[in-house]
Amino acid sequence: MESYIDASRIAAKVKEIALQINEEYKGKVPIFIGVLNGAFMFLSDLIREITLDCEVDFLKLSSYGDSQISSGDIKMLKALNCQVKDRDIIVVEDIIDSGLSIKYMKTLIENENPRSLKIAALLFKKNVSNLDFKIDYTGFEIENEFVVGYGLDHAQKYRNLKGIYVL
């Protein structure tokens, strides 16, 4: 495996995103919604840099199985437990690839009428994504490579690595 983004660059970027959120959400109590499993590490580092009152919830989707390519058939494996209506929601994703998962979640959450909805993604694959909306907070734009580490897996392995690697 080849090192792609090391732990110190990730930590600096996470702080930068948190700083921006702290500034933009002053006086608000956002709900961070982490997308399991991949976003657990990004979410946990991110919220430790958040100085606002905030809440945390998770949802879980599946579309990849053990493959490296999205099947496009998205299943909800764990629904939200929080009330989204009239709340400020920040969806926290590990990576945007085809964009199918984030499109699905955006529609799902918008249907529950949040006061606002923003998206934070640590990684964004610039070659593949074809979205008709913007990602509000992006960590790193990366090439069309399959990456692992810092929460991201291949066949459930490598999530524990501190940095991000190309498989």
Q: Of 90 and 95, which CB lies nearer to Mg ion in the complex structure?
A: 95
Q: Which of 4, 30, 32, 38 binds Mg ion (CB under 5 A)?
A: 38
**Which amino acid, 100?**
L
Q: Specify the stretch interacting with Mg ion by CB under 5 A; choose among 4-12, 36-44, 110-118, 142-150.
A: 36-44
> Does 100 sit near ligand IMP (CB under 6 A)?
yes
C-alpha 79/C-alpha 74 separation (Å) is: 13
Angle at 102 between CA 97 and CA 88, to 5 degrees: 140
> Does 70 sit near ligand IMP (CB under 6 A)?
yes
Which residue from 59, 61, 109 is spatially nearest to 89, judged by alpha carbons? 109
Helices (H) and strands (E) in the chain, counts: 3, 9
- Applying CB under 6 A, the site for ligand IMP has a residue count of 19
H/E run at residue 90: strand 88-96
Tell me how far, at minimum, the Cβ of 104 lies from ligand IMP, in Å: 8
Q: 84: Cβ–Cβ under 8 A, 6 or more apart, which residues?
A: 31, 109, 112, 113, 114
Q: Which two tokens stand for residue 120?
A: 């934070």
- Applying CB under 5 A, the site for Mg ion has a residue count of 1
Partner from ligand IMP, Mg ion, none contacting 100, C-beta within 5 to 8 A by type: ligand IMP
Q: Which of 45, 46, 92, 97 binds ligand IMP (CB under 6 A)?
A: 97
> Does 40 sit near ligand IMP (CB under 6 A)?
no
Q: Of 30 and 151, which CB lies nearer to Mg ion in the complex structure?
A: 151
Catalytic hit among 66, 97, 132, 153: 97
Residue 97 annotated to the active site: yes
Which residue from 31, 85, 36, 34 is spatially nearest to 55, judged by alpha carbons? 31
In the complex, which residues of this chain contact ligand IMP (CB under 6 A)? 35, 38, 63-64, 70, 93-102, 146-148, 152
